[in-house]
Amino acid sequence: MTEKTYAMLKPDAVAAGHIGEIISRFENVGLVIERMELATLTPQQAAANYAEHEGKPFYEGLVQYVTSGPVVKLVLAGEGAVAITRKLMGATNPVDALPGTIRGDFGLVMDANVIHGSDSPESAEREIAIFFD
């Protein structure tokens, strides 16, 4: 069964010129890019996406960071798209991410960890609606 997921290359990945290499990793495992857009997020989009973290010490910094420059928004599709994307991304903290994962290869610090990806099909549906009309 084809599943959809949302992924976002964060401002640090875009600024460092890693777009092509990261996207090729998705394509190389058979995920299909259904939608892709380079954009700067609005504070409202960032707040809606990270609503579950509101009130936590890192929330304001996270919203400021993801709105600080262009991101690449993606809708990826394929069998097991959520789990495959999460595996490719690696651990949330780049220090813990294995070499060969996106965060392991390109991430340096937790506050700028290169990529966001949906953690479930339900989150994917919600996030796709936030970022794509």
Point out the residues that are catalytic.
Answer: 116
In angstroms, the CA 36 to CA 54 distance is 27
Residue whose entry in the numeric block shows the structure tokens 């690696």: 90
Backbone angles phi, psi at 3, to 5 degrees: -120, 150
Residue given tokens 């579950």 in the structure block? 52
Tell how far CA 84 is from the center of its chain: 13
